[in-house]
Structure 1
Amino acid sequence: MPEYIENRHFITSDQYELSTLGTIDKTGQDIILAVHDLYGSKENFAGLINNAIWAKHKVSVIAFNQRNIGDNVPTRIKNVGILVNDIIDVITALKNKYEQQRIVLLLEGFSCGLINLLLEQKPLIEKVIFVNPITNSNGIRFSILSKIGIGFGFLFNLNKILKIHIDYQLLSQN
């Protein structure tokens, strides 16, 4: 069972410890769970966590380091499925400990692409906030050859048309 150890870390269902940044106001109404981009860290959200306006409105902001990031123990397994499971475990741990508070997901960069998998947890998540699709320049590494390849691909496929049928009547129905 996933667990949250206050001001220290989350323990996932496979007993991995994810270090955290931020505290949760037990009297607050909302918890913003910030998920950083690839090659990012929980410190990406330090300004948001230490924001006096959030504290005044009793909104808690908490971030955690993903596996193999920062002060977490390095692991050999690196894949998106584990990241999704870790996020779901963190959400579950928060909801178990703070049942009355609403959980708002703040997804940064690559983690925005995980939204369809995370929305399966809809009963536990109240809202979702997306921040910049690309926030970390280390996430995209282009060599000179890849840039040339993208350029040639653009030039030689310029006149190709994608045939997509859109049923506007179906689209406009409420």
Structure 2
Amino acid sequence: MDGRAAGVGHRLRQLRESRGISLSALARSAGIGKATLSGLELGTRNPTLETLYAVAGALGVPLTALVLDPGAPPEEAADVRGAAVTATLLEVFEEPGVTFELLRMRVRPGTVQHSPPHAPGVTEHVTVYAGVLRAGPADTPLLAGPGEHISWQADVPHVYGTVGEDEVVATLLIRSPAGR
């Protein structure tokens, strides 16, 4: 884990313990192995984007609660890589009752990223700048090309992939209700 991502394990453990959830219970709820979760907390495993989203969803927190210390500027968050997506946190906006996370996202061609459901009420909004994106609910993905926008309720399994051989460059805005 690089220096900026090293705090993920510490933040994860604090969030888990503050909610009174055992390591085993969180692993079951997130659908990941207990050894994987333990390795994340100890800082001996690099978290994938899919794993971080699964744990954040199980804890009912936005992704930034795991990758960024409270009050820290977004540029201190490490890039997070998944099967097809590399995400860079650009900004976090807090409003009464809602958190918005704005990320730059690159989607590599040739593979599909499967993302677990987020907490109820979470929505995702993507604007594509280059390439053609297939994303959204796993059973009914949407298409968007340069200059187009798509959005969906993200409390269901969803996917990210490209159409064709070109990498997709886009922004992702995740809207999470308060208490999540």
User: What is the TM-score with the length of structure 1 in the denominator?
Assistant: 0.24
Which structure has greater strand proportion? 2
Q: Normalized per residue, which structure has more helix? A: 1
